[in-house]
Amino acid sequence: MVSSRKYQILWLYGQYFVHFSRNRDMKKELIIIFFLLVSLILTGQQPSQELGPMPDIVFETSGLIFYNGKLVTHNDSGGTPQLFEIDTVSLQITRTITLTNVENVDWEDIAQDDLYIYIGDFGNNVGTRQDLAIYRVAKADYDSSDSVTAEVINFEYEDQADFTNVGNSDWDAEALFVLNDQLIVLTKQWQTEGTIAYSLPKVPGNYMATKLDSYNTNGLVTGATYNPTTESLHIIGYNRFLQPFIFRVEGASGNAIFEGTVSRSNFEIGQAQAESIAYADSNTYFFSTEVFTSANPPINLDSLLFSFKPEETVEEEEEAEEEDNEPENPEDEESELILFRPFGSIYLNYRLNTESKVLDTSIFDTSGRLISNFSYGDIEDNRIDISNLEGAVYYLTFYTSKGLISKPFSGR
């Protein structure tokens, strides 16, 4: 659970950044670095362990399951119609399985149940595809041969009527998981940065995918895995600044995926294009990242494999909440900013203890909305007229040459 105080800090630092970006020629690299750092305020941190680089042949790893003691993955659009088994210790490919009767148009995720492996060929960046499919491979065939024939589950979204190329589309999808007798597809919404859950039967045929519900992820969903042992769903993805995140969903049902408890954490791995996730047992998970390159700003990220244990997230969140609940003394003489208001006065008095140059001053409400802005030099006698403020909580904020100083106060 993210505290309101952390959201307030994020808004204040965002306003601080906007203020100075108006006066300086900020480079795109600095923008990305700033928001990458500030985004860490929003969520708890999920510890993980880097296991090493993925094999070169799967540098575009897009789906992941753990089966027969090995990880099974595949590449995405334009790759071969093949699955690759990877040893979790050596990270070497130990076996390659070819689907002989289908192509890899845009394979995006893989899932399994007791009898079958399911491969989602539903990548749809621009929203024009009308040949979405999930390929079903019998585990008995997979175990006995390196060449297998897939059965096909063809589908459309029940609520998509427009197939016009709109660039990055909300009809893309990169996540698939099995929930009891259903296949669940989670969309990757480029425009609204959320996800919609759709349900399909696990039986080959032609279907309209049924919409279940949606969730505002504030990022791009790229993979999912449902652990039947713990009855928990984990959803992986990244935000626009390549900060990987993970959602844990408790209480997902065949009628609504997000009706239960939903919690979010960030991975402490820096920038990465997180693409796939798989459970190995009740408390061991793997996830992989895809190669990512950019010329401006210059970014080169490798394809890597990680492991993590979700129970560590709960422990860290409890510790964070304990820290958040520690009492603060607003009258501490060592504080950079001390606020006080005489009873019945329309003025907020302050004492600012800093040697930094003060550049500007603002008042924000708790949602981060700018209420007023004024030059520090215009303030007389270290007091501010707050007679126009309603009875609510606000933040008095000073922009200094070394950073931002802010403290809450109550309106009239």
166 shares a domain with 17: no
Residues 150 and 295 in one domain: yes
Q: Which of 257, 289, 322 is the last residue of a domain?
A: 322
Say if CB 329 and CB 339 are below 8 A apart: no
Whole-number pLDDT of residue 412: 61
pLDDT in tens, 201-224: 999 999 999 999 999 999 999 999
Whole-number Å distance between alpha carbons of 331 and 40: 29
pLDDT number for residue 316: 42
Do 135 and 19 fall within a single domain? no
Helix (H) or strand (E) holding 351: strand 347-352
> Does 123 share its domain with 251?
yes
Chain centroid to CA 173: 15
Q: What is the CATH number of the domain that holds 73?
A: 2.115.10
Are residue 175 and residue 86 in the same domain, yes or no? yes
Q: How far is CA 281 from the centre of its chain?
A: 23
Query: What is the separation of C-alpha 87 from the centre of its chain, rounded to a whole number of angstroms?
Result: 27
Cα 138 to Cα 175, 232, 281, distances in angstroms: 20, 25, 22
Last residue of a domain, one of 322, 345, 378: 322
Based on the fold, state whether residues 26 and 50 are members of the same structural domain: no
Look up the CATH number of the domain holding residue 33: 2.60.40.3080
pTM: 0.70
249, 177: one domain: yes
Domain end point (choices 322, 356, 391): 322
Looking at residue 166, its pLDDT comes to 86
Q: In the chain, how many domains are there?
A: 2
Whether residues 255 and 193 share a domain: the answer is yes
pLDDT score at 343 = 57
Domain span holding position 14: 4-40+327-410
What pLDDT does residue 367 have? 66
Number of H helices, E strands in the chain: 4, 31
- pLDDT score for 19: 54
Q: What is the pLDDT of residue 278?
A: 98
Q: How far apart are CA 305 and CA 66, in angstroms?
A: 13
Which parts of the chain sit beneath pLDDT 50?
1-9, 27-29, 32-33, 40-42, 313-333
